[in-house]
Structure 1
Amino acid sequence: MDYFSLERHINELNSALPKAFLESVSSALSRTFALGFKSGSEYFSLYLALDGVLQGPRLKRGKLESFSDSVFSERVYKLLSNAFLAEMGMLRNPELPLARDRIIFLRFIAADPYFGIKKTFFLICEFTGRNSNIFLSDSDMIILEAYGRTANNSQGKAYVFPCSEVKADPLLFSPEELANFWTKHSFGDSSELLAGITNKILKEAVYRSKCEKKLPIRVANELLAFLKEYRDEGAYLYLKNKRVAYVSSVNFSHMEEHEIIAINSINDALLQAALMNVLPKALSDEKGKLLKYIETKIQAVKKLIQEQNELLELYSDHETVQHKGELINANLYQIKPGSKQVAVYDWLSDKTELIELDPMKTPHANSEYFFKQAKKYKRGIEAAKKRIEELDSELSWLKEQKWYASEAEDITSPVFAELKQYILPQKKKKSSKRDKNKSISRRSVYKIEPVFSNDNAVYYAGKNALENDFVTFKLAKSEDYWFHAKEVPGSHVIMKLKDKNTVPEDDSLIIGALLAARMSFSKNSQNVPVDYTKASNVRRIAGGKTGQVYYTHYKTLYVNPLELTHN
């Protein structure tokens, strides 16, 4: 985004973002720093992107999505939590007022919670291409923290503007003066000599002049006319191979090889670009990471189950081990001390059996060893069975989480954030009030929208383990109906009848079963068994993972989830 687009964009953001207080901060995707604001009962999220097409600020209504913390975000939150956003604007170099650097500032006023002393802080955002950065400074512009490494600014020192040369202001020229300027300077060096003029802007002026020889007066006329268009409303996306290649507040007609889409505002254009460029790739990367981790866990659990089954097979031979001890006891008289083995008559098989002995033990100690091993094996059978049951439950849960991860469609949704936090190992760090508040809000407060409704009932469904637990044990009442695809990963579906005193019609039950089948691992099958029962018959598994349940008094419906696509 060029300087003139950024300048207009900041003016638009000032109109769109009311006076607000900083509520949360986060390091977001693709070198983006995010700020969450609250104004009255409304929430806003301001994203400050440092890389690529999205470089610049963009504003989104709604609470800030959770991404990750960093040293920078922790420092900003510590100093600016509940601070008032007093001002946002272009930051100009007082020594070079015509430099037109793409730098903005956000001025915050923070009040000390104990003494009420007000302090001023700045976020300085350099949207200057490859060397973009964000700085947190005090009221004297002393750098307190930097988002990324920088060569010309260091912590504890006054902010230094990027190196710039003295430039002429094209907006102060008449067409004749600008044409005369080009006769004295190289036309190709305009981006170095004229403040705010990029090669793309110059190319557009040449294109519009329809002048092969680049006659200065004609190009000057077109350039100055083009710069006036930056005052107009609207914005444009330039697409190449279905990805956004450029965002601007004016129409660059020379970029005709691109698909050009007109958008209402620069902010809307940036939000759309994020949806088209950043989020799909980020979702793919995050899903891949999550699925790989879950699959690793699945294979580890399968290996543990195999080991327990091998132990179970070994322990199942406890009677044979017990009998060896009995055979040794019956033949103590003929076993010489230090013997490595003994041949004895087995009255059960009516054969002579050869039993291996420990030559370091007495004959009696050898028999006691077999008796103890037999008792150990008998105890081990129950322990192995219990462990296999636990591992089977964990395997089932992991497969369900793998399905949820593969079905995720929006990386910015709380559903995906919760899935990541619940599955991936979290770095241990000192907990804070901020962390506790975040944790509570994720687990106890949900806004679950109905997935379907008609004249008879309203249907709700969970989209991860935490939401499943919520819809089943918080949202559902005892008289509501609960649905789940049989023995496969899937969503918990709740049916709430509008008339609590009626018996549900078959059609209502079938809809619930269809939804549960459609939102399950078997969604592409044609004959899916779905269990349903009253919500009061569903219980959490003691010691189980969140979302794991058992249920009783159920019935089963067989449905074709593909029918939903035709309704």
Structure 2
Amino acid sequence: MSPDGITLHLIIRELRETLLAGRVERVFQPERQEIILVIRSSGQSWRLLLSAKAESASLHLTTREKKNPLSPPQFCIVLRKYLEGSRLTDIQQVGLDRIVRLTFNRIAESGEFQELVLVVEIMGKHSNLILINPESNQIIDGIKRYSHALSRYREVLPGRTYLSPPAQEKVHPLTLDEDEFIKLILSHPLKKSLEKVLFSILEGVGPVLSREIVLRTDLDHNLRLEYCGAHELQSLWQVIQDIIPPLIQGQGVEPIIVFQDKQPTAYAPIFLTQYEGLNIVRCQTVNEMLDRFYTERREINRFQQIHRHLAHVIKRELSQRCKKLSYQEQDEAEAKKALKLRLWGETVFAHLHLIKPGTREISLPDIYEPDGPHIIVKLNPSMTASQNAQKFFRKYNKARDSLKIIKKNIRKTAAEVRYLNSVEIGLEQAATLSEIGEIQSELEEAGYLRTSAREKEKRKKKEQRKEAPQIKQFTSQDGFTILIGKNNKQNDYLTMRLAQDDDCWLHVKDSAGAHIVVKNIPGKEVPLSTLEEAAGLAAYFSEARLSSNVPVDCTKRKNVSKPKGARPGFVIYKKHQTFYVTPKAPEEPDNH
């Protein structure tokens, strides 16, 4: 979703008040199709973000810090050469189209003043940032280069003549009168919806604003033109006059962002009645509106991308370990079968005199249960009875030694499966990029994810800074603080470093899940109601979330310990009591 022409017009009004005559201090290119200009104006440094991304092309001030690549891309190098140290002298929009020209003035190498224009073209997948020399109208460079092989209309290459994008056949709202408006409306196919007709004829009006205008006329936004008469079109014209001219003049601006299920869905410079009932957040400026919308959407997209990747890795590793465990259990069963060979060997030795040469199979009494059923022993007819017995003992010894190793490997693989299950539960409950990052870091440290040298260095620096995990904190109905570790890293930090000996510690019994700590208040006994509340949270933040009557163990923190070499999140405990509770989602958390 990119800003429409009217939103862009309001953005530019704010930018002109803030940035004009400002000096470009630095140029960054944190992402492939995104530029940040640091401009010093009125004693303050501002960050102007210019994006040519198809899904979020935009132009607005941002307060968000972004990491930059180790080596600047080519377009960034070009902008640094031409723009750093220059002054921003003008910002102009082409009509109400989504094309903006930023004019900079600098002292060239010749010592003379030189004008440069950075054109921001916001056109979906065709968006671009192009630096031109206005005197010759030649392109210096573009963030997206392409030749006639990709576009028959124009080339964006250094040295080529700059051509503006093809003009849209739309009309500036302030140049229309009612008769012209109705005439334009009726020139469209009657099967077309009123919303789409407005979008196709009014310059600067995007789909969201088009729908809002129709809805404020008390008409269905999907209403087709063929069902509209003079009354409907006159009402539509009146609503347009009530909304568009004041907005263009900067009056009645009320920037808002619409959230649905905590995800930013839409934004506009006016209140949107079409989204009544959803969470609508008001912003101070149009720049703030765009900055927050794109930042939060980017974080959500990033969260979902990393979440999908980590879920795939965990699922793959779990599948491999479960298959490995299955094979190991089969080997164990085979090895246990081979243990009977000891009995065969002893039985054969005890009855050597009964076994004739060349015997393939013989029924012999059980030496340990003489009155029980006989044992059927299969022999190699080419070997003597004594040789057969020795062969049985050799196979038994091999099976016995193998069984020890197999059981050890089964314990190791089963522990790995339990660990991966705990990581999977932590991933399912992760709600922020920070929590996702903790799980990603844990998987890297455990060797399930490859780590680049740069990531290793970043993690090393982070560990040196000793950044503590952000622990969820709630207050019980009795006023006691309840802390929740939602993944293994948080669990280790909460239990082994944050909790005190007399704090109450809870964990769902025999299942992966969160560590819960109820902070002790000196001189007060933690009431049963708080412990049951904490137990409900422990059940909710575990793999037993969808069950009922979940067992949750509770003990003092001093009774909890971590075995040497144990994986993150794994502890042992003693002297516990068990609550049987129904999982309960937390109430609104405290602001921490």
Fold shared, TM-score > 0.5 on shorter chain: yes
Q: Deviations over 1:10-64 (max 9, x none)?
A: 665799999999999578xxxx969899x9xx99997958345x54257776776
Say yes or no: does 1:496 pair with 2:519.
Answer: yes
Would the alpha carbon gap of residues 20 and 398 (structure 1) be closer, same or farther in structure 2, given more than 3 Å must change? farther
Would the alpha carbon gap of residues 483 and 284 (structure 1) be closer, same or farther in structure 2, given more than 3 Å must change? same
Deviation of 1:390 after TM superposition, in Å, equals 2.4
Is 2:174–2:245's contact at 8 Å kept on the other side of the alignment? no
State how far apart, in whole Å, the 1-side matches of 2:157 and 2:353 are: 87
Alignment partner, residue 5 of structure 2: 3
Q: Deviations over 1:340-378 (max 9, x none)?
A: 94647455266474424396x887765544323212222
State how far apart, in whole Å, the 2-side matches of 1:487 and 1:401 are: 15
Would the alpha carbon gap of residues 456 and 263 (structure 1) be closer, same or farther in structure 2, given more than 3 Å must change? closer
Moved more, 554-563 or 166-175: 166-175
AA at the equivalent of 2:53:
L
Alignment partner, residue 344 of structure 2: 324
TM-score (norm 2): 0.62
Q: Summarize the alignment of residues 209-358 of structure 1 with structure 2, pairs less than 5 Å apart.
A: 225=245, 228-230=248-250, 233-235=253-255, 247-249=267-269, 263-264=282-283, 265-267=285-287, 269-270=289-290, 291=311, 294-326=314-346, 331=352, 341=360, 343=362, 345=364, 348=367, 351=374, 353-357=376-380
Q: Summarize the alignment of residues 35-114 of structure 1 with structure 2, pairs less than 5 Å apart.
A: 48=51, 50-52=53-55, 55-56=57-58, 75-76=71-72, 101-102=98-99
Say yes or no: does 1:392 pair with 2:389.
Answer: no
Q: Deviations over 1:371-417 (max 9, x none)?
A: 23212222233323223322332332333333333334x3x431133
Q: Deviations over 1:161-182 (max 9, x none)?
A: 6643589999999889x999x9
Is 1:443–1:466's contact at 8 Å kept on the other side of the alignment? no
State how far apart, in whole Å, the 2-side matches of 1:24 and 1:447 are: 30
Would the alpha carbon gap of residues 531 and 75 (structure 1) be closer, same or farther in structure 2, given more than 3 Å must change? same
Alignment partner, residue 439 of structure 2: 419
Would the alpha carbon gap of residues 166 and 194 (structure 1) be closer, same or farther in structure 2, given more than 3 Å must change? farther
Deviation of 1:461 after TM superposition, in Å, equals 0.9
Deviation of 1:473 after TM superposition, in Å, equals 1.8
State how far apart, in whole Å, the 2-side matches of 1:358 and 1:86 are: 98
Q: Summarize the alignment of residues 517-532 of structure 1 with structure 2, pairs less than 5 Å apart.
A: 517-523=539-545, 527-532=549-554
| SS at structure 1 position matched to 2:506 | strand
State how far apart, in whole Å, the 2-side matches of 1:419 and 1:238 are: 30
Alignment partner, residue 562 of structure 2: 540
State how far apart, in whole Å, the 2-side matches of 1:508 and 1:213 are: 63
Q: Deviations over 1:224-273 (max 9, x none)?
A: 83563446532356899999876433579xxx877696843435644776
Is 2:146–2:155's contact at 8 Å kept on the other side of the alignment? no
Is 1:136–1:146's contact at 8 Å kept on the other side of the alignment? no
Deviation of 1:471 after TM superposition, in Å, equals 1.0
AA at the equivalent of 1:383:
I
Alignment partner, residue 111 of structure 1: none
Alignment partner, residue 114 of structure 1: none
| SS at structure 1 position matched to 2:519 | strand
State how far apart, in whole Å, the 2-side matches of 1:36 and 1:529 are: 57
Percent identity (aligned): 18
State how far apart, in whole Å, the 2-side matches of 1:213 and 1:559 are: 62
Alignment partner, residue 476 of structure 1: 499
Would the alpha carbon gap of residues 167 and 124 (structure 1) be closer, same or farther in structure 2, given more than 3 Å must change? closer
Q: Deviations over 1:110-137 (max 9, x none)?
A: xxxxxxxxxxxx9986532222357999
Q: Residue 428 of structure 2 is aligned with which of 392, 399, 406? A: 406
Question: Which runs of 5 or more residues in structure 1 are unaligned?
Answer: 67-71, 108-121
Is 1:10–1:89's contact at 8 Å kept on the other side of the alignment? no
AA at the equivalent of 1:129:
G
Q: Deviations over 1:188-243 (max 9, x none)?
A: 999999986879989999999x89999xx999999983563446532356899999
| SS at structure 1 position matched to 2:410 | helix
Q: Residue 451 of structure 1 is aligned with which of 474, 483, 486? A: 474
Is 1:5–1:230's contact at 8 Å kept on the other side of the alignment? no
Is 2:94–2:100's contact at 8 Å kept on the other side of the alignment? no
Alignment partner, residue 465 of structure 1: 488
Is 2:422–2:513's contact at 8 Å kept on the other side of the alignment? yes
Report the count of equivalent residues.
520
TM-score (norm 1): 0.64
State how far apart, in whole Å, the 1-side matches of 2:28 and 2:296 are: 28
State how far apart, in whole Å, the 2-side matches of 1:234 and 1:370 are: 89
Deviation of 1:492 after TM superposition, in Å, equals 0.7
| SS at structure 2 position matched to 1:310 | helix
Is 2:4–2:98's contact at 8 Å kept on the other side of the alignment? no
| SS at structure 2 position matched to 1:451 | strand
Would the alpha carbon gap of residues 513 and 144 (structure 1) be closer, same or farther in structure 2, given more than 3 Å must change? same
| SS at structure 2 position matched to 1:404 | helix
Q: Deviations over 1:276-334 (max 9, x none)?
A: 98877887776566556544544443333333333222222444212334456674997
State how far apart, in whole Å, the 1-side matches of 2:381 and 2:140 are: 79
State how far apart, in whole Å, the 2-side matches of 1:197 and 1:563 are: 43
State how far apart, in whole Å, the 2-side matches of 1:447 and 1:489 are: 20
| SS at structure 1 position matched to 2:454 | coil
Would the alpha carbon gap of residues 418 and 234 (structure 1) be closer, same or farther in structure 2, given more than 3 Å must change? same
AA at the equivalent of 1:306:
S
| SS at structure 1 position matched to 2:400 | helix
AA at the equivalent of 1:404:
G
AA at the equivalent of 1:3:
G
